[in-house]
Structure 1
Amino acid sequence: TGAGTSARMAVLQARGLMGVGDVLTHESIIGSRFTGRIVDLTEIGGRKAIVPEITGRAWITGEHAYYLDPTDPYPEGYVLSDTWGTSTSMKQ
């Protein structure tokens, strides 16, 4: 999928295995392909990110509507560090 291709490219870029202009062809087990290219590097919310360009074929198989509950304490979402903190060490 396009989201999977974007995620894979972001991981590869973070590991130093892809750079701006590099191309990744992501093929599924059924042979469908998405091709991604890193167009640029950026920062979102203080975190490093890529600007991907994705090409491929897809078909609409469903539709979903999202609603915002006015009582939701996290109307813009949250990340795990909001719950567990940012420490990467585990205490024994």
Structure 2
Amino acid sequence: MPSRSRYDLSIILRENWSDLKEDLDGKIRISVGTSDNLFLNRSVELLEKEMKSLNVNIKFDYFPGDHFTLFTEDYKKDGVEFLEKKL
């Protein structure tokens, strides 16, 4: 069985950022609903705090809604704007 840490984005970024930075810096956007049914917003908040302490440039966005209802016009607009800037 594979190690659970193998899938932990926080560990992967923390341990490999020096190798990943050139390709990923400023190119990652993580968004979540503020009332996520699975409480993923809390995990995202922890990841954001850790990434800021490492000076990792990731865009974190929190939108009103839960795991299934955050796909609002603002959410979609922000996602498109982020992609347009990166492409």
Question: Do the structures match in fold with TM over 0.5?
Answer: no
* Bigger Rg, which one: 1
Question: Which structure shows the bigger proportion of residues in strand conformation?
Answer: 1
* TM-score class, shorter: under 0.3
TM-score w.r.t. the length of structure 2 is: 0.28
